[in-house]
Amino acid sequence: MKDVKALLKEARDAIKNKDYETSLKVSKSILKEDKTNYMALIFLGLSLQEVGPEDQAPKAFKKAIELNSTNPLAYNGLISYYEKIDNEDAKKELVKLYTEILELEIEQKKVIEFCEKLASIGQNNSDIYDIAKTVYNAKDKVEDKATINRVVVNLLSSKVTDLPSEILQIYEECLYCLVSNDNTVTSTQYSAYLSVLYKQNRYKDLLEHAQVMHKLFENDNMPLVWICKISNQSYLENKEFAQNCAELTKISCEELLKNDPNDAIGLFTHGIMLVEDQKLLEAKEVLTKVTRMRPGLLHAWIMLTTLLVRLGLYEEAIHASEASEKLLKSIKYSNKKLKEILDCSLIQLYSISSDKEDWQKAIELYNKITNESTKNEYSKYAILAYIHLGKFAEAKSQIQTLTDDSLIQFLKAKMYIQEKRYNDALSLLEKNTPEDSDWWNEIGQIYWKMGEHKNSLVPFLKAAKCDPNNYLTFFYLGNYYQKANDTEKARRCYEKAFKISPNSLDVVTELSSVYRQLKKFVSNCINKLVTPKNHRYTGCPILIYPPTYFEICVFYKKNFKQKL
């Protein structure tokens, strides 16, 4: 028999020349004499892959690994075998083999190649996090760390929403390394990094990096969107932080909407800015548009709810609050702070309702508040609910805890009004008159109830000056001018009230009446059905805007089966 070295050379040359029949024969002859010859097992495995039986090839490579587990040759042979098989079992074997060979391989080019291959089959693998750690740890073996960072980032990018903390830290580190190189970073990588900062609630860092990203990618709106998004959420959850970045937010919002006038996040920011500027009706239109564009945007729904409550628009506020509640109940949007804001808004809303059940709900929600500061802030509305329910003892007990003299004065007056002690209420309210529309409306309403209609005008006018967005004020003024037979002024007041609160049945009814008196049948008019919740005429269609005479006839014939 030839010398083993000569035989090994013969087998090697045969494989090089693709003469696998010869290499198979020579390899077997060597192993017949020496079953532990490592290279003969390697050549046998390579030959079997080509001439068969193929399923015997892995046995040769595995035997070689048992003999020498630190030599990568046998691993490469097994990898070559399994790479040709496209099934899940083969992929599992490859994950194991790539992981093992990365422990042994020292050639940098090979290390990167194996990392890329491992990541390519790891995307949908249940061991994706272990794979990510393996690739990440291989970074110490190469100088080209940027490539390894990219491999890790690409591997984990589809799983970023639910990464374990250890893997999230690896993902963030790799992204940070990539975004730190202005010459090679991509906008996709920078956006991913901002997402990671957001996931960790690192809003300050996020804003800083968003500005850097904007300088690098001036035509990319994403950094502007992130700045607006953080500002929007902070406005509700951390107003001090939102105020600190107000100037940056304003600039970013303006640029974003200039680039894309229909960007929902930018419009949301614009809506908040309108609220800050006391342009509440414009803000309402913008925020309503945002919730239609992005119905899953929880913060927008909460913001809209608080605004509608502030405007006293019961029906619309209830709808917005229900949408908010639905989102809050989902796991994705679990947020105690937003839940508290919503509950407090509902306390305020229920307290101004005309429904006994709502008053009780206001008290129940108030009693659930645990934060003392919040409890003090919203005690006014719980007291109003007690007063509406006629529970004066509870109301008085709560009033004793207050320190604001004006508020105490107002609430005591509300109790007097409930008891129809109008003169006592007036003496309290006219004693000290702050710039508050509710305050002046109460004075005007008292005079109205007492039949002193002329004396109600000045309080209502002052209420309108204090808050031009309070629809009740203009409704009261409309009633006054109707009583004074000034139908034209009544029309303007009712129209103003309708513009603010188009779903108010009382406003709709009076406005329709005024139009008929004025015979104001103009073109470009609309019909609308109004069916307010909890109203005894729910379902009855009401004409609410000046139609043509023909439209009135059609409307009444269709809905009431009678002639005009």
Q: Nearest CA to 58 among 39, 41, 71? A: 41
- Is-contact 433 440, C-beta < 8 A? yes
User: For a pLDDT cut of 90, what percent of the chain falls above it?
Assistant: 60
**Longest pairwise C-alpha distance within the chain:** 129
Question: Domain residues of the chain, as ranges?
Answer: 403-468, 482-564
Please name the residue that has the structure tokens 């992929």.
Answer: 91
> How far is residue 489's CA from residue 75's CA, in Å, rounded to a whole number?
92
What pLDDT does residue 276 have? 96
What pLDDT does residue 281 have? 94
- Written as one string, the DSSP assignment of 272-323 is HHHHHTT-HHHHHHHHHHHHHH-TT-HHHHHHHHHHHHHTT-HHHHHHHHHH
Say which range, 245-254, 265-274, 439-448, 551-560, has the weakest mean pLDDT: 551-560
What pLDDT does residue 2 have? 64
- The DSSP 8-state label assigned to residue 143 in this structure reads S
For the cut 80, the answer to whether the pLDDT of residue 455 exceeds it is yes
**Model confidence band, residue 550 (pLDDT cutoffs 50, 70, 90):** very low
Please name the residue that has the structure tokens 């947020």.
Answer: 335
> How far is residue 519's CA from residue 516's CA, in Å, rounded to a whole number?
5
pTM over 0.75: yes
Q: Nearest CA to 434 among 397, 405, 412, 454? A: 405
What pLDDT does residue 535 have? 44
Structure token digits, residue 103 = 């422990």
What pLDDT does residue 309 have? 96
**Model confidence band, residue 484 (pLDDT cutoffs 50, 70, 90):** very high
Residue predicted with more confidence, 212 or 47: 212
Burial class (CB in 10 A: 0-12, 13-18, 19+), 250: middle
CA distances from 271 to 9, 301, 304, 373, 502 (A): 80, 12, 9, 27, 20
Amino acid at position 540, single letter = C
What pLDDT does residue 332 have? 66
Q: What is the mean pLDDT of residues 421-426?
A: 96
> How far is residue 68's CA from residue 71's CA, in Å, rounded to a whole number?
6
Amino acid at position 161, single letter = T
What pLDDT does residue 334 have? 67
Residue pLDDT, tens place only, 174-206:
999 999 988 889 999 999 999 999 999 999 999
Chain-centroid distance, C-alpha 237: 13
> How far is residue 43's CA from residue 74's CA, in Å, rounded to a whole number?
10
Q: What is the 3-state secondary structure (H, E, C) of 154-201?
A: HHHHHHHHHCCHHHHHHHHHHHHHHHCCCCCCCHHHHHHHHHHHHHCC
Residue pLDDT, tens place only, 441-453:
999 999 999 999 9
For the cut 60, the answer to whether the pLDDT of residue 553 exceeds it is no
Q: How far apart are the first and last CA of the chain?
A: 121
Residue pLDDT, tens place only, 322-343:
999 999 988 666 678 899 999 9
For the cut 50, the answer to whether the pLDDT of residue 360 exceeds it is yes
> How far is residue 481's CA from residue 489's CA, in Å, rounded to a whole number?
6
> How far is residue 134's CA from residue 119's CA, in Å, rounded to a whole number?
10
Amino acid at position 81, single letter = Y
- Per CATH, the architecture of 403-468 is what? Alpha Horseshoe (1.25)
- Is-contact 505 532, C-beta < 8 A? yes
CB atoms within 10 A of CB 428: 21
**Model confidence band, residue 88 (pLDDT cutoffs 50, 70, 90):** confident
Q: What is the mean pLDDT of residues 484-488?
A: 94
Amino acid at position 551, single letter = E
What pLDDT does residue 479 have? 96
Residue predicted with more confidence, 2 or 247: 247
Cα dihedral 98→102→108→110 (10° resolution) = -30
Residue pLDDT, tens place only, 212-265:
999 999 999 999 999 999 999 999 999 999 999 999 999 999 999 999 999 999
CA distances from 88 to 58, 118, 169, 252 (A): 17, 14, 29, 48
φ/ψ of residue 186, rounded to 5: -105, 160
What pLDDT does residue 561 have? 43
